[in-house]
Amino acid sequence: MRFVIRGKVKPYVRMTQRGKWVSEQAQEYLASKAAVGHQLKKQMSANGWEMLPAKTPLVVRLAFTVPNRLHCADLDNQVKALADSAQGIVFKDDRWVDKLSAERRKGDEYLTVLEVAEMNNLTIAEAMRELSQKEIGHG
């Protein structure tokens, strides 16, 4: 599955139960998570895809494109934001992501490409090679 997310993705923000209601950063993160989730749902529906089966080992590849400062956020928090947004839509549980590749680069607009594949009986190296054969580009 290959998804193209348009717009800025707010990196993951650590929050308490109370903080998610009072912290402006937490509110921005939750709004971004919902917006990304909406785009994922639309693309799932448009392609006739269903959520990947539970307890299925997964390979995930992410490419973040940003128009201005490249290092304005921690890459791991950007990855967490996408994993949180995809959980329950693309896959049941992100604990089953066994291989993860992420990169970021400068471009003309905010754009995120998310690729998810089942590992099946492939080794991690074979699964990554399979994903690598599909070019991550601008859609």
Q: Is the pLDDT of residue 132 over 90?
A: no
Positive/negative CA dihedral, 40, 55, 137, 8: positive
Q: Is the pLDDT of residue 93 over 90?
A: yes
- pLDDT tens column, 73-90: 889 999 999 999 999 999
Top-level class of domain 2-132 = alpha beta
pTM of the entire structure? 0.80
The separation between CA 71 and the C-alpha centre of its own chain, rounded to angstroms, equals 18
On whether the CB atoms of residues 119 and 75 are closer than 8 A, the answer is no
Domain boundaries, the chain: 2-132
Q: What percent of the chain has pLDDT over 70?
A: 80
- First-to-last C-alpha distance (Å) of the chain: 13
